[in-house]
Amino acid sequence: MRHFLALKDYTKEEILEILEIAAKIKIETKNKVFKDYMPKQTLGMIFEKSSTRTRVSFETGIYQLGGVGLFLSSNDIQLGRGEPMSDTSRVISSMVDMVMIRTFDQSRIVEFAKYSKVPVINGLSDQYHPVQLLADYMTIQEAKLDKNLIVGYIGDGNNLANSWLMLASKLGFELRIATPKGYEVDEKVVDEAMEFAKISGAKIIIGNDPIEAVKGSTVVTTDTWVSMGQEEEKEKRIKDFDGYIIDSKMMSLAQDKAVFLHCLPAYREYEVSEEVIESNQSLVFQEAENRLHAQKGVMVWLDRQHKK
């Protein structure tokens, strides 16, 4: 059974196939054509981390596909009282057609998928955020920047950075990551991406200089410096990330037609300036909307695979 846990599990062809489905469904949605791709199917949505975009996009998405979303907060189900993930998986997957999980450690999603009778989607973990990267690349395709793509990622070596590594190494584009010292991407993830890059031809550069990462890039992207669960580190992180803000001076180093992406929520004047996020170069709200369409692509693709 196929799950959508991390982009490393997918080939270039499969990723592009999902995005092709997503683009087709987006056009239909814009034309107010809602086809029942998944009629009367139920998506169980388990949230151990709070969310805006993930909940709204998945709940709206499954509804527009002809199904229904079931919101399951960890505070409202036995998982929050210590029930083993394996037991929760066996029970829930016997009653729904697909499951999305937004949680902390990736191992929790992997364990759920191991015991699940239905496809499982990673809505976010501390290690990966694959659905976000599909929305990002969909936005890049729409901006016609997917040819000769050079992405400059500036900021924390977190789940977004990990996912950019996986996407670049699978699709074969150039990715430059710049993080402050002490906030680098996990070496195991980098090593894995480098192995995939040998096949795809991706060029991956890891460093600590944001200027070098942005210079000549076609897409500039970042993420919050203080993710959920890191609030106690806020003051230290703000100090450590000094010089990593994406402002107009930083954007001027990129190519003239370069765009800015951010998965949101964005903390203005920290990782990105007000001027940049509100500029014509910013595609962050198109990117946010594309979470809806990209995830519909994932659900439809998984459903088709499950029925084979």
Q: Which of 64, 132, 141, 295 is catalytic?
A: 132
3-state secondary structure of 56: helix
Q: Which of 223, 237, 262, 303 is catalytic?
A: 223
Neighbours of 218 (CB within 10 A): 22
- CA-based nearest residue to 201, from 1, 51, 12, 3: 12
- 102 is known as an active-site residue: yes
Task: Find tokens 């924390």 and name the residue.
Answer: 156
- 53 is known as an active-site residue: no
Q: Which of 108, 176, 262, 291 is catalytic?
A: 291
- 2 is known as an active-site residue: no
Tokens of 70: 């079931």
Distance CA 54, CA 193 (A): 26
Q: Which of 97, 263, 293, 303 is catalytic?
A: 263
Residue type, 178: A
3-state secondary structure of 31: coil
Cis bond leading into 39, ω under 30°?
A: no
- 132 is known as an active-site residue: yes
- CA-based nearest residue to 256, from 281, 287, 279, 233: 281
Distance CA 175, CA 80 (A): 38
- 263 is known as an active-site residue: yes
Q: Which of 102, 108, 237, 262 is catalytic?
A: 102
Q: Which of 53, 108, 129, 237 is catalytic?
A: 129
- 3 is known as an active-site residue: no
Tokens of 199: 């096949």
Residues recognised as catalytic: 102, 129, 132, 223, 263, 291
